[in-house]
Structure formats: structure tokens, C-alpha cells
Structure 1
């Protein structure tokens, strides 16, 4: 694959949003290496995958509130701005996502990017590029507000504003949702169903997708992870990149064994200002390359996984 600089030069991203149809993909990119070492097995996945891997790339930097949580001590005096903390977030869109995008191309996989609406509006060209390179744009709220305490109509506007920002900039109609720190409220799923969403990820209860009933209709759950998640481990300052590699490999090995007899999905999550650092991109490359050496493993965007769940009559229903 070409690197990011070549891609930008050849693609001519200016004005791209208006040219992209809803949920458009680069057809060649979607086909390219999404299924690794294909081998038919006794898989529970309809497409013959033995194990499906779902990678998330959070696009949040630029949408955070003043003095948002960071690796720096949370001891700022009232009335002052945490300036080094601001630069930590800036790294996410200046270096992190561009580096990850090149790595995904190198590895030949497509990911789901959960996008905060205000971050998209602040860095529109980067948001356009994510979609133009074949990745899914999923909604992640308009900003970092506490969603679970919002009244119904307030939350509905909050979610819709984020979706509208993504659509306006990228042309992509988001069908997946992730609440801030997964903390959805009692009305969230009803709102998502009402707004036309197809799935959410704010659930840690299974290692495979499943369907639930929301407002009398099917709604897909594509489980997320806090185990294989850089913000829980690396940003917590008590975990190193090599430990992350080891942990994710252990997770994969166990799920791969289980996938001989049951449907298994593995989730891995990266954040712009953490997963996009040089050490973590190197770690990610090692992890994905290791996984790709195993037969029957496919990498899928979360919208693809959700669609498979809807179409599979054997999927778990709750």
C-alpha cells in the first residue's frame, strides 16, 4: 500500500465529503486482505471465518473539554488551563491517527473509527481521510458530555448532532454507536433505534455479537473490550507496550482455541493519542502480523459484523 503522503497527494481529499455516497467504501480497499489465510472449518460464522477480529480506532482528540483527563497529575488550580495536557491530545490528530492509518494500510486491514462530532469538525480533512481509506466512521457523541444523566430529548439531540457532524464532513452515515466510557443511559438504546442506528458497542458481556430487542425490533450488539484497550492499560501508566503485546496475544490464542467449537470475536481498541505513538504502532504491527499467521482469521469493521449478526439465524438472541 502507498503511504499516507502519497495517498493524500493522489486522492485529492479537498471536497471529498461531497463526493462520497452514504456509507461509501473504496471497493478495492474493502476487498483487500480482509480475510487472512482462508481455510474452511467448522466455524459458526456464516462466511466461514474461524475467528473474527474487530479493531477500533477512537477519534477523540480535539473534542475533549478543558483540563480533560490526561497522564499528568489532576491537580490544576481552578481558573488555569493544563497546557501540556492539551498538547497530549493534539498528538492524536497531528501524529497518532496519521501513523495508524499508514499502519492499517501496511497490514491490509480496515477498522472502525468511533468519532466525536466536535473532533471531526475541528479536523475535517483527517476525518475525510479515514473514510476515504476504507474505514468505518461510527458515532461517539458530539463531545465528552456525561450522557447517562441527560433527559431523553437532550440525549437524542446530543447523539444526532454527532452523527450529523460526521455525515456533513465525511459523507458517511454512522450506524454504530459508542458512549463516552461506555456509560450509556436508560434511554440510549431507544434513541439509537429511533435514529436508525444498527448496533452499539457499550457491552462487555460476550465474546461474540448478539441481538437484543429494542422498541420491539432487533438491535445488534458488537461487544467492546477493556482488556485489549490501550487507554485502560498504557495510558494508566502502569503498563508497557511489550506487556500489551503479550496480553493481546494471550487473548487471541485462547479465543482461537475456543473458535474450534463456537463463534468467537476478538476486539482490540486504540485511541488516537495513545495507540498512535511509535512504540504502540510497532506493538500493533507485531500483534496483527502474529494474528494473520493463523488460518481462518478475518478482520472486519463493526458495521460488517453487525450485518452478519442480522443475517445469521443462529446468532444469540437476548
Structure 2
């Protein structure tokens, strides 16, 4: 019925336009909008959903940011806060992995190198279950302020930790809190990366030139991010659910005429809690009811983008 009503509506608009001056031009413009191939994913998807699962716990420094108040005296280790991080690899990621399997989707896991070395079996399991291992630096620390050679080593050490542990060669990168430096993209391109995610400027992937070569940008999210909403703004699980649901519904409507990507981000110690995993399950099942939606790893999105001549270029 929807397609028939759409056809009748379009036919009526075209008929009315043909009676007006420049009617043919109006009809042509309407047709071109509907036929614009740039609005379609090359594999035929209507909307692509990209899920991130951050593997950071175990790679944080002593007294890293946590839900606990910053009232600890200098010279002491925040022992309770360290258990909050431990939850990420003891409970969070294992629970999320079971959830992804039940839902039949694959995600991208941004892995801190030192976290991988501390929990190698868990890193192996993530890859063995079919998920992408992407790089997230050697430690959970800043890199934008490092000299070129030090930053390159910081990135490469993280890559080597992932490759040595899992056998997976990372092609995607995420800097700590998205704060890359002026040299980061050049370093990534030199090291063989294909994409990065430290960009919030679009709701679809695009291509940039780095060292005179194509490099993909697969946009990340703060709007649909558990560390910002659940931890940072103290959203409840149902608020998070509704926030992402509204985002999906708007992007799905736009995806009739534009290439759209929905990004969602979960962190091991936050998104892996029972309430958040349940919210994620309900949310994804709702999204899966919509025709043309595809869940893809970010390396898959980058490949589609780089191979599509209609991708946006900047």
C-alpha cells in the first residue's frame, strides 16, 4: 500500500507540474532526486548501522577517570576505581559478545594495546567470534601532543600487540577521546591503515586525501555513546534507548534519499552492564524490523566507501 500511495502521489505531482510553466523541468528534478545513485549504498543497503565496542579496561593508568569523586589524597591508588575498570573485561565484554551472537551482528572493537596484552584470551575471543579488531593506541593516554616519531611508535606498538595476540591486522584507528594530532593521519596512512573514526562532521562515511592517497573516514558518535550519556550525563538505560531510537528513526527517514549511517558506541565497563545489554538488545531488535538496514563492521564500511565512485570526497 505504501508504494502504491507513493506512486499515486508522485503521479499527481508530475501531472500538476506539467500544467505549469517549466513543468517539464520540475518533473525532471523530481525524477532525478528519486534516481540519485549517490543516496544508495553500493551493496543495496538503505541504512548502515555501525557499532563500536571499546576494549580499554586494563589499559588505563592509575587513578584514571571513574564514577568515584576526585577526593583521593595524593600518593594513593584509587583501588575501588580499578575494580570498576576490571568489570569491563570480567563481565562487560563477555556479556556483550553473547548479545551480539544472539542478535546475529558483528561489531568493531577498538582495542588498547596494553589492555589486549593483559587479557589476551578475551582479545582472541573477540576476533574468533567474527568481530573487527581496530587499533586504539598502545595505552589509554593522549597522543596529540607527542612528537612524530613517538606518536608513530605509540600507534605501531598498539597494532603489534593486537596482531601478535589475535592474528588480526588492524586497518582502522580511534585516538583517545578522538584527539588526534597534526601528524596522526599521515602516520596511519604510512602504517597501512584504511580509515579512522575521529570525526563527527557527517552522518555518512567519506573520503579524504592523505599523502596523496585515498583514506576513508567512518564517522564516530558522541550522541549515541554510553560513556558520554550513561557515565557523563547519568542517563538511565531507557533514556539511552530512546535517544538512539529517535536518532535511528530520523536517519531511516532520510535514508530514502540520502546515504545514511547510524553509529552507536559501547564501552566495556559501561555498555557491558546488565541493564545496558538488555537495552541494546531491545534497541537492535527494533532496528532489525526495518527493511534495508544492515549492521556492518567499520572495516567493511571503509571498503564500501573507498570502492564507491559516488562517495563524498573532501
TM tier, shorter chain? 0.7 to 0.9
Query: What is the aligned partner in structure 2 of residue 80 from structure 1?
Result: 76
Is the CA contact (8 Å cut-off) linking 1:71 and 1:237 kept in structure 2? no
Q: Contact 1:190–1:215 (CA<8 Å) still a contact in 2?
A: yes
- The reply to whether residue 50 of structure 1 matches residue 46 of structure 2 is yes
Shift of 1:74: 1.6
- Superposed CA deviations along residues 46-98 of structure 1, whole A, max 9, x for unmatched, are 01000000000000000000000001112211100111100000000000000
Q: Which residue is 2:293 aligned to? A: 297
- Counterpart position of 1:268: 264
Q: What is aligned with 1:114?
A: 110
Whether 1:131 and 2:127 are equivalent positions in the alignment is yes
The aligned counterpart of 1:33 is: none
Identify the residue that residue 205 of structure 1 maps to in structure 2: 201
Query: Does 2:64 match 1:68?
Result: yes
Q: Alpha carbon RMSD of aligned pairs, Å?
A: 1.0
Q: Select which of 234, 253, 271 maps to 1:257.
A: 253
Residues of 2 paired with 1:214 and 1:304: CA distance? 20
Q: Supply the distance in 2 between the matched residues of 1:200 and 1:246 (Cα, whole angstroms).
A: 28
SS of the residue corresponding to residue 242 of structure 1 reads: helix
Query: SS state of the match for residue 269, structure 2?
Result: helix
Q: Equivalent of 1:284, from 280, 287, 296?
A: 280
Match of 2:50, SS state, is strand
Q: For the residues of structure 2 that align with 1:237 and 1:176, how far apart are their CA atoms?
A: 28
Q: Which of the numbers 198, 208, 214 marks the counterpart of 2:210?
A: 214
Output the CA distance in 2 between the equivalents of 1:150 and 1:307.
30
Q: Secondary structure at the match of 2:270?
A: helix
Q: Secondary structure at the match of 1:208?
A: coil
Q: 1:84 to 1:237 in 2, by over 3 A?
A: farther
Report how far residue 146 of structure 1 moved.
Answer: 1.5
Distance 1:169 1:189 in 2: 25
Moved more, 121-130 or 75-84: 75-84
1:54-203 correspondence runs (5 A)? 54-203=50-199
Aligned length: 278
Looking at structure 2, the residues matched to 169 and 309 of structure 1 have their Cα atoms a distance apart, in angstroms, of 29
Give, in whole Å, the separation in 1 of the partners of 2:295 and 2:201: 21
TM-score (norm 1): 0.86
TM-score, length-normalised on structure 2? 0.88
Q: Distance in 2 between matches of 1:284 and 1:44?
A: 27
CA distance in 1, matches of 2:45, 2:115: 35
Structure 1: distance between partners of 2:75 and 2:249: 49
Question: Structure 2 CA distance, aligned partners of 1:92 and 1:125?
Answer: 14
- 1:248 paired residue among 237, 244, 257: 244
Q: Deviations over 1:254-289 (max 9, x none)?
A: 000000001000000000000000000000001100
- Larger helix share, 1 or 2: 2
* 4+ aligned runs moved over 6 Å, structure 1: none
Q: Does 1:312 align with 2:312?
A: no
Listed as ranges, the gaps of 5+ residues in structure 1 are: 1-40
Q: Report the CA distance between 1:144 and its aligned residue.
A: 1.7
Distance in 2 between residues matched to 1:144 and 1:52, nearest whole Å:
29
